[in-house]
Amino acid sequence: VKVAVLGGTGRMGRALAKQLSKENDVVIGSRDESRARASAKEIDGAEGADYRGASKTAEVVVFAIPYSAIGLAATLADALAGKVVVSMINPIRVEGGLMLFGLKDGSAAEELAALIPGSKVATAFNNISALFFERDEVVPIDTLVAADSLETFETVAGLVRSIPNLRPLYAGPLSQAGTIERMTSLVLNLGRLNRAGSLTTRFVSTKDKPS
């Protein structure tokens, strides 16, 4: 799959792009094309482009930009029309040493969807720290995918599965994105308050065999 990572020059974008490049054609998107090219050089086979160029050329587009920059999506609405767009954006604020969900209601993913109404927006990767993707191999973990159609879920699930050891779990429609984004603050606080390193999501099942 040809996948663009907008903000692929940032901490999470770079790490995710590195993992995705194992099985996909990756385009690093940056506000600055030369910065995108420089980041792309660090990843075998990756290309670099500005946000518009990256959005146009890719089949699936991942937003790895800060919540504060979400408004720029509106300027890409035509280039993203008809495409599957993945939001990993977490609106987080820090208060009294705790990470808190930064919105009164709704979610970053739903705000993104409203800015690009012609696109099929889903969530993925929200609860996974870049630290997991910066390693050569990812440990077995789950990522929650909210999407308004099963078809969109399946496209994103394929992308998730292209990273070895990463399991997509369908979380229901995009209205569930707020719960997923809130979980990011929870796992960050759990890791810090329990001195447990960086934590992420891995669900166990009654179908699992005892080891």
71 CB-near residues (< 8 Å, 6+ apart)? 115
19 binds ligand NAP (CB under 6 A): no
The type of residue at 64 is A
Q: For strands 92-95 and 98-101, give the pairing.
A: antiparallel
65 binds ligand NAP (CB under 6 A): yes
State the minimum distance, in angstroms, from the CB of residue 164 to ligand NAP.
19
Residue 184's nearest CA partner among 136, 124, 134, 137 is 124
CA distance 24 to 163: 10
Residue with tokens 């020059």: 9
Contact pick of 35, 37, 167, 192 for ligand NAP (by CB under 6 A) = 35
State the minimum distance, in angstroms, from the CB of residue 131 to ligand NAP.
7
Long-range contacts of the stretch 9-14 (C-beta < 8 A, 24+): 9/35, 9/36, 9/38, 9/39, 10/64, 10/65, 11/130, 12/64, 12/88, 12/125, 12/130, 12/133, 13/62, 13/64, 13/65, 14/39, 14/42, 14/130
CA distance 21 to 57: 16
9 binds ligand NAP (CB under 6 A): yes
Nearer Cβ to ligand NAP (149/165): 165
| Window 116-155: contact mask with ligand NAP (x via CB under 6 A) | ---------xx-xxx-------------------------
Nearer Cβ to ligand NAP (90/152): 90
Contact pick of 3, 13, 54, 188 for ligand NAP (by CB under 6 A) = 13
Q: For strands 141-146 and 166-172, give the pairing.
A: parallel
Nearer Cβ to ligand NAP (147/188): 188
109 binds ligand NAP (CB under 6 A): no
Number of residues binding to ligand NAP, judged by CB under 6 A: 24
Q: For residue 210, how many other CB atoms are within 10 A of its CB?
A: 3
Contact pick of 80, 88, 122, 180 for ligand NAP (by CB under 6 A) = 88
State the minimum distance, in angstroms, from the CB of residue 87 to ligand NAP.
8
Q: Which residues bind ligand NAP (CB under 6 A)?
A: 7, 9-13, 30-32, 35, 64-69, 88-90, 125-126, 128-130
